[in-house]
Structure 1
Amino acid sequence: MTVLTARRTRWGLAAAGGAAAAAWWFGDKAPYPYAQRGLLDIPLPYLTCGRLDEILRPRPGERILEIGPGTGLQSLHIAPQLGPEGRLDIVDIQPEMLDHVTHRAEERGITNITATESDARTLPFDERTFDAVYLVTALGEIPEPDQVLSEAARVLAPTGRLVVGEFFDRHWIPFSRLHRLADASGLHLETRHGPTMAYLARFHPCHRNEPVPSAP
Structure 2
Amino acid sequence: MSLTHAATRRASRRTGLTAAAGLAALAAGAWWFTDQAPYPYAQRRLLDLQLPFLAKADLDQVLQPRPGERMLEIGPGTGLQTLHIAPQLGTEGRLDIVDIQQEMLDHVMGRAAEKALDVVRPHRADARELPFEDQTFDAVYLVTALGEIPEPGRVLAAAARVLKPGGRLVVGEFFDRHWIPFGRLHRLADTEGLHLTARRGPSVAYLARFRPCAAA
TM-score (norm 2): 0.95
Q: Does 1:120 align with 2:127?
A: yes
Listed as ranges, the matches of 1:58-97 within 5 Å are 58-97=65-104
**Matches of 1:15 and 1:139, distance apart in 2:** 32
Question: Using the alignment, how far apart are the partners of 1:10 and 1:115 within structure 2?
Answer: 48
| Structure 2 residue corresponding to 1:207, chosen from 206, 210, 214 | 214
What is the identity, as a one-letter code, of the residue corresponding to 2:36?
K
| TM-superposition CA deviations, 1:153-188 (whole Å, max 9, x none) | 000001100000000000000000000000001100
Name the amino acid aligned to 2:31: W
Residue of 38, 42, 45 corresponding to 1:38? 45
- 2:118 matched to which residue of 1? 111
> Partner of 2:158: helix, strand, or coil?
helix
- Matched residue, 2:155: 148
> Is 1:51 the counterpart of 2:53 in the alignment?
no
Report how far residue 49 of structure 1 moved. Answer: 0.7
Output the CA distance in 1 between the equivalents of 2:60 and 2:10. 53
How many residue pairs get aligned? The number is: 209
2:36 is the counterpart of 1:29: yes
Q: After superposition, give the CA deviation of every residue in 1:111-154 in whole Å (9 maximum; x if it has no partner).
A: 10000000000000010000000000000000000000000000
The residue identity in structure 2 corresponding to 1:174 is P
Alpha-carbon separation, structure 1, partners of 2:188 and 2:49 = 28
Question: Given residue 23 of structure 2, which amino acid in structure 1 is its aligned partner?
Answer: A
Cα offset, 1:2, TM superposition: 2.5
CA distance in 2, matches of 1:10, 1:68: 39
**In 1, Cα distance between equivalents of 2:210 and 2:11:** 57
Q: CA deviation at 1:26?
A: 1.3
Residue 139 (structure 1) aligned with residue 118 (structure 2): no
What is the rounded CA distance, in whole Å, between the counterparts of 1:19 and 1:69 in structure 2?
Answer: 30
Q: SS state of the match for residue 21, structure 2?
A: helix
Paired AA for residue 196 in structure 1: S
Alpha carbon RMSD of aligned pairs, Å?
Answer: 1.0
Please report how far the alpha carbon of residue 10 of structure 1 lies from its aligned counterpart in structure 2 after TM superposition.
Answer: 1.9
Q: What's the CA shift for 1:28?
A: 1.2
Gaps of 5+ in 1: 210-216
CA–CA distance in structure 2, aligned partners of residues 18 and 169 of structure 1: 15
Task: Tell me the equivalent position of 2:13.
Answer: 6
% same residue: 66
From 166, 169, 174, the counterpart of 2:173:
166
Structure 2: gaps of 5 or more residues:
1-7
Aligned to 2:186: 179
- Once the two structures are TM-superposed, the CA of residue 19 in structure 1 deviates from its matched residue by 1.3
Matched residues in 2 for 1:3 and 1:198: separation?
A: 39
Q: Which amino acid aligns with 1:77?
A: H
Give the equivalent residue in structure 1 for 2:107.
100
TM-score of the two chains, using structure 1 as the length reference: 0.95
Q: Which residue of 1 aligns with 2:4?
A: none
